Amino acid sequence: MSGKLRQRVRELIEEKEWKELEDLLLNTEDEWIMEILERLTRSSEGPKMAGGLITSLSCDTRESTSLRLKVYEYILEKIRTDEDNNKRGAGEMVGVLMMHVDVFPNNVLIKLVNRFVEHVQNGSSLQGRWVDLLAKLITSISQKEEITVSGKEMSGEDYRYQVLKSFCDLPWSAETTISLLPVFRDIDLPKEELQDVVYKVEHVLKSVDFQSVPPIIYHLILLVKGKLPGRVLQAVIDFFNKQEQRLSSRSENGNCASDSIDIDSEVIEESKHSELTEAQGTVILHVTHQAQYNPALVKDYLKFVKTSTWLTERLITPFNLALSLSLASIEKYQDQIIESLKSCLLKSFRQQERSRQSQWLRETWGENCNITAAFRTTIDNCIMGWDQVSQGLVQLGFSLLESGGGPKGETYASQRAVELASVILPLILKKQPHIARTVISQLSNFILLYQFLFTEILGKLAKVSPLVMLEHLNLIRELLEYLVFLPLPVSTHLLHALLPLLKMSMTLKDALMITLRKMLFSKQVESRQVAVRGFLQFLRHFRVMGTLPNSQASMSFSSSLSTVSINADVHSVFNNSTNEALCLELLGVLRRCFSQQHEVKSTFYAGLYDVSRANPKLTVSILELLLQHIKVFLDVRADIFNPVILKKVISIQGENAVLIEPMGDLLGSLGAIKTYYEENRERITTEDDDDEENAVSVLNEVCSIFDHLTEKLAGCGLDDLGLDTNGEFSNSSAVGQKNLFSAKIMVSVFDCLIEHTFTHGAETSEEKMQTLISLFKSQRKIVTLVKERSGKPAKKGESSKGKGRPATKPSVTFKSNLSLRATAKMLEASLDNVDSAGPNYLTQAMEPECDAIAEVQDWVLQLCKDQALDHGGLADSMVGLAFVLSNQVKANHTLTRGIARELHHKLGDLEQDVEVEEAGKYKIVTEETASAVLSTLLAHLDDSLNLTEMALNKTKACLASGAEYDADKIERQISMKFVLVMHAVHEVIQSALPLGTNTDHTLKLVTKLYNVLSLYVKYYLDLYRVKTYPQISDKFEKVVHMSGQLVTAPVYPTITYIEGAQRQMGKNKEGTLKARAIKEYKLIPALIFSIEQYEKHLITLSRKSKVNLMQAMKLSTSRDFRIVPAAIMEALKNDDEDPNDETEVEINGNNADENENNADRSSDNERHSGSDDEDNTQMETENLPTTKKDSKGAKKKRSSSGSEEERDENDSNSQNVGKKPQAKKKKLLISKKIMGKA
């Protein structure tokens, strides 16, 4: 019977007789139907038969719906259990089931969804195509407008969220996660629900093994698409950062307890590191691949990088560096990512610099991360095949080098950037030799652009990876061909950088030798100097064990280079005979330098001493070479007073005098080499008797020359030296040039003789000391003569412009030929018996936590308290040092406020009838030094605000990126710094500031204070935007309250005082009024604008927090109009004398800000309307000079932090905000009466 029934069902399906088929199925037992269904689904027409059966059951009746559900569930279960045997059929069957989902009623769909929830709850595997049906079920239900679940009515979207929440509440394994994420992707979840899924996956990642991480992250990226890519990347970065920290901490703890750890545990840790690295590499590939087709992913990542530039510890990690540099392989985003990383690194270096200088910043944010270690780890991981990361590292390294600028005048951040690049490039070249060609090419291009830094990097590459460099020998030889076009410093460093390669490659050495020979005969003097330095470098580094006879060293320059053109590969090692042959020829080459220009000779002489030290066996040959040459310019006859033949040293060619021989350099080189040989004679001397006799003869002859020069020139007069005492010493004529050259030559000769005499027994011999003094006096006579004859002022009116100040001829400068060795010995001898004080050390050379610096700080503070200095520069330096030490070691909160109090007392109050109480704590502040100390104080306060701004920026970055930070600790530190600055500013702005730069700096400082306060308020605005239930701390409320009382209240009278003083100065000096007015026009409106912005943000925060933060803020109308107190008092006085007379009251409008921003004025007028106008009018009247005297006419005293009356007035004003003022009618009537008369 089952066969006939099965055949009948097949026929009805083929004929599409659905009604008849439904009746047949409803009248057949379920067991028969399931048996037929099983047989039909096994055939090739299984999907078609299953679709027909489901289609025939229309769900019009309960029986039909129940049978359809049983058929549906039976097919679904068969697919789940037998999918491995028939994957193609399973896929087609799932497609059939999806087509018939929408026919089911809501309650059936909910039952099917619950089956999937039960599978996850039971921990069943969700592998297979059958899971795809879940997305269709949830999507179908979510499209319903209204459904009933457990007796509750809800929308389909609400049910979808309920199902999603049920899934997220269940534990997920790695397999479950990988299966569910594609399902959620097909559902098209909104952002809010995607947030829950991402949050769930973050928890799952903590418990799965590293091998399961890449597929989970891959599906998560596909799930969020363009909705939340940034959120996913942040989760991935945070996960890998925490895993790296965890493994690193384990490794450190393991190293500390290495004795108790067995080999198996070490192997396990290494295996975990390897698995983590592999997982990171796979994830980076997934993200980079998706980024090429999903621009939103890279854009969100760039936002993350930019918001995290202040968070180095989060951004500069091995994984995030690799991810960033891999994304930089996408050309469209390359520059943005590299610049963002460089910006983060530079900010980190600046923060490191400030942390070294500020204990407050170290306590606020602690130590920075180890950037170099992060880069080293990233480079080590590149061995896993991260080629795109290697290319990004090279680009970042060169970008950091470009930010270095140069060797001089670099900032700390630029220096650290160059140091980091000098670590990255050699290390990446060592780990990834295949990118060597790219690195060398870029380095060559930068070197040809005269970039000094890149030669140092090239030198490090040559030291670290010489064999890799020699594989690209053609690039190095091409660089050498451009040697002639490079400046002297760059060429010199390039030769030194290539030295490791020259020692290994005979081919490269021969190529350089040929290039240097050509350069020695170049028309450019610098090229000849480069050639000389190159040859001297060969002599220094290719050492000879035996002595070269002078006859060999003097061989003709026309000798060929056959002796050094030995065929060798790059792995050759130069032996002693090769080096000897090389030095033999080079000494012959350099002998021709004696016929070159004096600049070339000076370069030659300056390098010979280093050659002697590095290659001692050449010392005697060098001495003999120099001895033969110096004899040409000396006359050692007994009747000659000056042995130096100046006519041979200097020659006149046409209208110019030309220096032929730099006698001081020659004599200095000879003396230095002689001294070195005498000190190391036993080590240098060989066993050859002929060589020993030659060395003794040369040394004796050199000693006799120095003795003769010393004897003749000691105590010699100017006439005896051949100098014309009445002659001209200038560059305007040939004679003047000759005289000037002669004087400079003799001064340099005296330097050499002084050094020789001092280093040969002057410390122990009284006779030699007298000779030394005689030499020095003779030298001083020459210097005095030249300065007198060359420094006379020109006549009036003979300046280049024809008018103005009298011109003065430039003074002549003398080059010292004293070596640093001799200078150091002289200083050592002169300071041996001096009892120097310990506190006079350089503070920057010590560690910030050093005890010695704390002692210096105590000493400097005590000096500032006890010593009254009249020299402004000295007081400025001393107070500045006290501030620097206070920042670096331990913050002295009383120092800043105490100095400000002293300045307030010494400068006086801006209101003349107010007497400031004397503090007397810091005596270094006097009336003479007040202006200089004020400038130092303002600079210190500005620096404090910079530190506060840096800390706030980092805090805002933590808040925006979701990073963890100690909010209470950081806010306590920031509030403390604000209180310190505001107390000092309060004293400064109440002082009678002298007009000039200090006034401008004060206005800029107060403007900056309000800007940083606004940044603090913005942090709280961000807090209310990000957090759910934030609260305003008491510390923040205290800062706001103090800003109103200590700064805002007195700042407007300060502006009035500055403008009044400016008008008074303008009456006396009308010429300076215009420039000062232009400057004030920019500074005062900027200050008022910053105040308005601060108040605006406070009002916004008050509205959000329901806390009145404007209680202590003084709302002033002084930027719109101002009642001049002096005019009012004059009017009152006249009114008392003659009540019938009408007195005109001057009411001046403050138009400084009118043209700046009319919109701000209108808002200000609205806010200051009503009773506030009366309050301000009354306040202006109360500030009249007559009200500041008591009944006896005595002046009102103001303490360092303001008078008691002012504090009471501020307190009352803050308490009565919004209340109707009382007891003011009389004063208001006076004001109105006066205005009425006007």
Using CB atoms within 10 Å of the CB of residue 98, give its burial: 0 to 12 exposed, 13 to 18 middle, 19+ buried. Answer: middle
Q: pLDDT (tens digit, 9 = 90+) per residue, 597-642?
A: 889 999 999 999 999 888 888 888 889 989 999 999 998 888 888 8
User: Which is higher by pLDDT, 88 or 198?
Assistant: 198
Q: How far apart are CA 16 and CA 10, in angstroms?
A: 10
pLDDT at residue 452, as a whole number:
74
- Cβ atoms of 476 and 440 closer than 8 Å: yes
Q: How far apart are CA 1021 and CA 1098, in angstroms?
A: 9
Q: pLDDT (tens digit, 9 = 90+) per residue, 229-261?
A: 888 999 999 999 999 888 887 766 655 544 444
User: Which is higher by pLDDT, 977 or 263?
Assistant: 977
Q: pLDDT (tens digit, 9 = 90+) per residue, 630-673?
A: 999 998 888 888 888 888 888 888 788 888 999 999 999 999 99
Q: pLDDT (tens digit, 9 = 90+) per residue, 835-879?
A: 444 444 444 455 555 667 777 778 888 888 887 877 778 888 888
Min mean pLDDT across 79-93, 413-427, 758-772 is at 79-93
pLDDT at residue 410, as a whole number:
54
Main-chain phi, psi angles of 652, to 5 degrees: -105, 125
Q: How confident is the model at residue 586 (pLDDT cuts 50, 70, 90)?
A: confident
Q: How far apart are CA 3 and CA 6, in angstroms?
A: 5
pLDDT at residue 467, as a whole number:
92
Average pLDDT, the chain: 78
User: Which is higher by pLDDT, 1041 or 1202?
Assistant: 1041
> Which segment, 143-152, 177-186, 1007-1016, is predicted with the most confidence on average?
1007-1016
| pLDDT for residue 799 is more than 60 | no
Q: pLDDT (tens digit, 9 = 90+) per residue, 1160-1169?
A: 433 343 333 3
Q: How confident is the model at residue 1147 (pLDDT cuts 50, 70, 90)?
A: very low
Q: How confident is the model at residue 279 (pLDDT cuts 50, 70, 90)?
A: very high
Q: How many CB atoms lie within 10 A of CB 801?
A: 8
Q: pLDDT (tens digit, 9 = 90+) per residue, 786-798?
A: 888 775 544 444 4
| pLDDT for residue 419 is more than 80 | yes
Segment 46-54 mean pLDDT:
81
Domain boundaries, the chain: 1-100, 101-170, 630-794+811-828, 851-1105, 1121-1237
Q: How confident is the model at residue 1102 (pLDDT cuts 50, 70, 90)?
A: very high
Using CB atoms within 10 Å of the CB of residue 566, give its burial: 0 to 12 exposed, 13 to 18 middle, 19+ buried. Answer: middle
Kind of pairing between the strands at 914-916 and 1121-1123: unpaired
- Cβ atoms of 407 and 452 closer than 8 Å: yes
Min mean pLDDT across 511-520, 848-857, 1150-1159 is at 1150-1159
User: Which is higher by pLDDT, 889 or 882?
Assistant: 882
pLDDT at residue 557, as a whole number:
32
| DSSP code of residue 1142 | -
Min mean pLDDT across 406-420, 430-444, 560-574, 630-644 is at 560-574
Q: How confident is the model at residue 1150 (pLDDT cuts 50, 70, 90)?
A: very low
Q: How far apart are CA 1060 and CA 579, in angstroms?
A: 83
Q: pLDDT (tens digit, 9 = 90+) per residue, 459-488?
A: 999 999 999 999 999 999 999 888 888 888
Q: How confident is the model at residue 1115 (pLDDT cuts 50, 70, 90)?
A: low
Q: How confident is the model at residue 1194 (pLDDT cuts 50, 70, 90)?
A: very low
- How would DSSP label each residue in 977-994? HHHHHHHHHHHHHTB-PP
| Whole-number Cα distances in Å, 498 to 159, 509, 530, 735 | 73, 10, 14, 46
Q: How far apart are CA 329 and CA 310, in angstroms?
A: 24
Q: Among 827, 984, 833, 807, which residue's Cα sits nearest to residue 900?
A: 984
Min mean pLDDT across 20-24, 420-424, 511-515, 562-566 is at 562-566
pLDDT at residue 1069, as a whole number:
56
pLDDT at residue 795, as a whole number:
41
pLDDT at residue 1138, as a whole number:
53
Spatial neighbors of 773 by CB under 8 A, at least 6 apart, are: none
pLDDT at residue 337, as a whole number:
92
Match 């001799």 to its residue by tokens.
Answer: 822
Q: pLDDT (tens digit, 9 = 90+) per residue, 1210-1238?
A: 343 333 333 333 433 333 333 333 333 33
pLDDT at residue 420, as a whole number:
92
Q: How far apart are CA 1173 and CA 1235, in angstroms?
A: 14
Segment 743-752 mean pLDDT:
90
Q: How far apart are CA 643 and CA 641, in angstroms?
A: 6
Spatial neighbors of 1000 by CB under 8 A, at least 6 apart, are: 1079, 1083
Alpha carbon 225 to chain centroid, angstroms: 35
Q: How confident is the model at residue 554 (pLDDT cuts 50, 70, 90)?
A: very low
pLDDT at residue 178, as a whole number:
92
pLDDT at residue 1128, as a whole number:
61
